[in-house]
Amino acid sequence: MGFLHTAFRPLHGGCPQRSDPVAPPDRRRRSLQRDHQERRRARKLSADPPAGRLLPDRSAVQLRRSDHTSGGVATAIAFCGCATRRMVTTFAIMASDAAFDDRAVLDTDVRRGPRRRLALRIPLLSPVLDKLAGDRHAIIDRVVTAPAPLQPIDLTDDARVAEVLELAVRVGEVVLASGTSVIDTTAQVRFIAETYGLSQCHIDVTYDAIRIWADRGPLLPPASTMRVVHHRALDFTRLAAADRLTRRIRRELPPPEEARATLDAIVAAAHPYPRWAATLAWSLLAAAIAALLGGDLIVAAVSFVATAAIDRTNRVLNRYGLPFFFQHMVGGAIAATPAIVLSTLAEPLGIKVDATLIIAAGITVLLSGLQLFGAVQDAITGAPITASARMLEVMIMTGGIIAGIACALRVGEITGATVPAINMNPGRDSTDLVLKVVAGAVAAFMFALACYAERRALAAAAFGGAAGTICYLLVQDAGFGPVVSSGVAATMIGLAGGLLARRALTPPLVVAVAGITPLLPGLKVYRGLYALLNDQLILGANQLLAAFGVGCALAAGVTLGEWFDRTVRRPRILRTDGTTRRPIFSRRSGTV
């Protein structure tokens, strides 16, 4: 009569016997353990399913629970056909309660879904930012975990896996060569691999190489590939095209061979502007920097000519394979020579010019092509090896610029020419605010054009340069030093750049790097060099360290501004559609 004890256990607390055919303790214990494990597995998959896997079918799991419970009811009724109505009613209540509890637990686990961080909302600022940013998000702005692919590749097909890995590292090569940080490059590579079903990947990104290993399970050997970055160039059109390819992979999941063909076309495509347009942009950048520093029309014109000579000369030297250190050294000498000539001829001609601004403009143009922003961003975001390599490159190239200027100044002193003197204790100058803001916007616009940015990104770059310039001048006029002023201005550039980049559908790196270009410490570098050449070692070292501090503050401020922008405008990325997690698409723009 063990069954009767089991049936009436809720009534009198009896214990089932070992011979109970319906619910023996060991079997029920194992059943409860299996139920608990399945609930934990369902909860884990609903919170964060790995790429290539789907959420468990809720109806199927519930059916297993219901079948198990209903089977127990049928067995009980068949075994005890002469049971009283009370016993049948009790069993029905027990079965329905158990089935209801199982369904409730499973529904709670599955419907809970992924936990999202709430967006930071600021009462007055957030509505304005919503209007500026809209709902158009670039992938490189915030790369997220890839959704579960609807048609993942066959992991047992070595050729298919190798094709996906090659596609991922080649996209990483494009973005890394364009100055993207290590953390963003790693996220790009991981996203593409996971989108095609390679969820277990180990990625190693260094200064000039990308390595990826894909774990395909315990029964298959891991697949790996490596890509070396041979050439580095600020090509913002190619960077934006790679960003659009990543968004297309997320939206359409094209076959790997089709995505590879698109990437081949991106890499092989010519620049959108002719080479003379880039030279003109570099020259206008120098003229705008000279005007921003307070130079007149003569200084701006000489800076224009000197920068054009630097660009064309370095282009020829690069064709012959001269190392970049010596190219920067030649560029520094070319930047200083017109200033020395103009300073020497100024008194006989009866004109009054500040020739030091010509050298400062040339230094700023040469510094703008270096990867100071990427070096500091890598150091902040946890990539010390690549940060050290990039910082060493920046210091070496800056040393080449200083060496070239020093050689030109020494030659001028030997020949009896007048070396441009400089005021070592400059004051704060907030005059001609409108002119300086316009000059900052033109400088950022021309830098983006010289780096082959797309047309829709040029306006965003100009706005970022204007916002950074006006913020720098106002903070400096409030009594803060150049380092603090540069950091605050760069934070504003990073924030505005992220918002404007979403509107222009271009990576925020374009707006950020172009926006901080007018604030680069070219004049401080020349002050430090001039002091060192005149045996003022302490003052010279102080100026050079101040220039280094300004550069780091610019890069750190942009990084902080981008983080703040991502926190304020954190979008909801995934939705639950039946048993599959899918990305949310914007109906207006077609982007994720």
pLDDT at 427: 52
What angle do the packed helices 85-112 and 25-47 form, to 10 degrees? 30
Mean pLDDT of 261-280: 92
Q: CA-CA distance, 172 to 196, in Å (whole number)?
A: 16
Query: Using an 8 Å Cβ cutoff, are 362 and 331 in contact?
Result: yes
Locate 562 and state its tokens: 């981008």
Mean pLDDT of 19-29: 49
The yes-or-no verdict on residue 6 having pLDDT over 60 is no
Write the CB contacts of 70 (distance below 8 Å, at least 6 apart in sequence). Answer: 95, 99
The yes-or-no verdict on residue 59 having pLDDT over 60 is no
The yes-or-no verdict on residue 539 having pLDDT over 80 is yes
Q: CA-CA distance, 414 to 229, in Å (whole number)?
A: 44
Query: Using an 8 Å Cβ cutoff, are 400 and 326 in contact?
Result: yes
pLDDT digits (tens, 9 = 90+) for 185-238: 999 999 999 989 888 899 999 988 999 999 988 888 999 999 998 878 888 999
What angle do the packed helices 58-79 and 85-112 form, to 10 degrees? 170
Mean pLDDT of 400-426: 85
Query: Using an 8 Å Cβ cutoff, are 225 and 203 in contact?
Result: no
Of 511, 534, 531, 515, nearest to 523 by C-alpha is 531
pLDDT digits (tens, 9 = 90+) for 118-162: 445 555 555 554 554 444 444 444 445 555 555 578 888 889 999
Q: CA-CA distance, 45 to 76, in Å (whole number)?
A: 35
The yes-or-no verdict on residue 424 having pLDDT over 70 is no
pLDDT band at 98 (very low <50, low <70, confident <90, very high): very low
Q: Tell me the pairing of strands 223-228 and 574-577.
A: unpaired
pLDDT digits (tens, 9 = 90+) for 323-332: 999 999 999 9
Q: CA-CA distance, 123 to 69, in Å (whole number)?
A: 53
pLDDT at 148: 54
Q: CA-CA distance, 50 to 43, in Å (whole number)?
A: 13
Does the pTM surpass 0.75? The reply is no
Q: Which residue has the higher pLDDT, 428 or 311?
A: 311
| Intra-chain end-to-end CA distance of the chain, in Å | 64
> At residue 98, what is the residue type?
A
Q: Which residue has the tokens 């020829």?
A: 316
pLDDT at 425: 60
Mean pLDDT of 292-315: 93
What angle do the packed helices 125-133 and 482-504 form, to 10 degrees? 50
pLDDT digits (tens, 9 = 90+) for 556-592: 999 898 888 777 655 444 444 444 444 444 433 334 3
The yes-or-no verdict on residue 86 having pLDDT over 80 is no
Tell me the torsion sign for CA atoms 528, 534, 535, 536. negative
